[in-house]
Amino acid sequence: MKTTCAAGGLMVRDDCVLLVKIAYGANKDCWMLPGGLVDEGEAVEQAAAREVREETGIEAKPVRLIGVRTGIRETDDGHMLDLYFVYEMEWLAGDAAPDHYESMDARFRPISEVLEDESTIHLTKELLRSYLQAAPAAGLTKLGAGIATNTKYVDYKVYTV
């Protein structure tokens, strides 16, 4: 079975959440977390930071893994496993601005408005609700270096509660 891997970022500042309004595809005109496919040779957390930067203009770093979505989709030649990893992101620099390619709008929107807005996709609302209800340190945190493995990896990270 073929597999796709994507990463996204959830950033909250001053009771607002960073979202993008999608310019194409099944989610056209919908608000959602910035995110996209992981490039070949790229770590998932690097992809989350890159996608946030590309779609919103904001430099950010992943803090912890807060959500994972899996799904199996039907394709013309069988099935595809779709993996999506969502990180809490820490703002580093920049102002929200759309890329006018994938996103037609990018901004920090009030959380209360987002949770009621029908144009915000359900997954984004559920990830945001879960994040807001969790303890401040809840989520998976990357363990430090030095975890031994006999398998040769180009990039190797372990996340725990």
Q: How many helices (H) and strands (E) does the chain have?
A: 3, 10
| 8, 87 Cβ separation under 8 angstroms | yes
Give the pLDDT of residue 146.
66
Candidate ranges 105-114, 122-131, 150-159; pick with highest mean pLDDT: 105-114
Kindly report, residue by residue over 126-140, the tens digit of the pLDDT. Answer: 999 999 988 677 777
> How do residues 24-78 score in pLDDT, each as one tens digit?
999 999 999 999 999 999 999 999 999 999 999 999 999 999 999 988 888 899 9
Residues in the chain: 161
How many distinct structural domains can be found in the chain?
Answer: 1
Mean pLDDT across the stretch 92-106?
96
- What's the pLDDT at 150? 74
H or E segment to which residue 105 belongs: strand 103-110
- Find the domain containing 149 and state its range: 2-160
Q: With CA atoms as reference, report the closest residue to 102 among 155, 34, 11.
A: 34
- pLDDT above 80: residue 161: no
CA–CA dist 129, 131 (Å, integer): 5
pLDDT band at 159; cut points 50, 70, 90: confident
Instruction: Identify the CATH number of the domain in which residue 130 sits.
Output: 3.90.79.10
Is this model's pTM higher than 0.85 or not?
yes
pLDDT mean across residues, the chain: 91
3-state secondary structure of 20: strand
pLDDT average, residue stretch 135-150: 71
**pLDDT on residue 73:** 86
The answer to whether 132 and 39 have CB atoms below 8 angstroms apart is no
